[in-house]
Amino acid sequence: MRISRGVLVVAGLLTLTSGAKPCIVGGTVTSVTEAPWVIALNTTQSNSSSGRYCGAALVKPDKIVTAAHCMDEATSTYYAVQGRADLGDPTVGRVSAISKVWIHPGYNTKNNRYDIAVLTLAKPFTGVPVLPLETRARADAAGAVPTVYGWGETQDTGPDETLQKAAVPDLGDKTCLANKSYVANGYAAATNVCAGYLQGGTDACQGDSGGPLVLNGRLLAVVSWGEGCAQPGNPGVYAEIAPVAKALEAQLRQDR
C-alpha cells in the first residue's frame, strides 16, 4: 500500500485520511520557537476538530510551500496556522486564509513527481523568520541528516496534534531506486529525496504531507509519500526543492 502522507493511495485511488489520528512516528516534541517557519495547513473539511490536515513551510511572509497532493479541497476551506505547537489550543498562534494556490505544472497523481505547491497567504505572517529554499542539487547526498517536522500520525509514539521533529538520514537515491515498488510508484532521482531508516522506527506519516525536510537551515524537500509509516525497508519519499527552485522563486515574486 502506497501512502501519500496526507492521503492514502490504494490501487490508484485517493482516499482522504484527514480523520486519522494526528505526529511524526518516533519523533520528539519540539517548539515553534525552534521552528517558527513550520506551518500547519488546516482545512475546515478535516475530520479533526483542530482542522489538522497537512504541513507547510513559511518561505516568505506571504508564501508557504507544501505538497501538491494536499490541495484536494476548495481553496476557501484552507487556512495556515503559525506559532501553534499544540493544534488543540486555538488561543495561541496566528491564522491566515489562503488567497491563491499554485501547483507545479509537472505534478500528476500517477507518480506524485513534482509534488509541490506554493500558497499565498491572505494575511502575511510578518516578523516571522522564513526558511530559505535549498537551490543546490548536491545537498541531496547520502550521509546528510536532515530533520522533518510535522503534526501527522504518531502511531502512539508521541502526543497527538503536537509539533514533532525527527532526524531522518538521507539514504541517497540508490536506496529507493533499489526498491521495485518505489520505482513502480514513481520514485525518481531527479525529483525526490530518499530519507529515513532501513530498520524502520522513525518516519513521517499521514498528516505530515507537505511538511518541511530541513538541512542546514534550508528547505531541502517536503513530505510526499511512502509505503506504510516507519516500516523496515520503506524509507520516506520527499519532493526535492532544488530541481524546481527557479519555478518556486518565480512564484515567490508574485504579488498577492
Average pLDDT of each block of 10 consecutive residues along the chain (256 residues)? 42 30 71 97 92 96 97 96 95 97 95 96 98 98 96 73 93 96 95 95 90 98 93 95 98 86
How many domains, the chain? 1
- State the CATH number of the domain containing residue 255: 2.40.10.10
Q: Which residue(s) pair with 91 in the sheet? A: none
What local confidence, expressed as pLDDT, does residue 256 receive?
67
What local confidence, expressed as pLDDT, does residue 3 receive?
53
Query: 145 in helix, strand or coil?
Result: coil
What local confidence, expressed as pLDDT, does residue 228 receive?
87
Query: 126 in helix, strand or coil?
Result: coil
What local confidence, expressed as pLDDT, does residue 158 receive?
64
Could you give the dihedral angle defined by the CA atoms of residues 152, 158, 163 and 169, in that order, rounded to the nearest 10 degrees? -80
Which residues span the domain enclosing 167?
1-256
What local confidence, expressed as pLDDT, does residue 25 receive?
81
Active centre residues (catalytic)? 69, 115, 209
144 exposure class (CB count in 10 Å sphere: 0-12, 13-18, 19+): middle
What local confidence, expressed as pLDDT, does residue 49 receive?
85
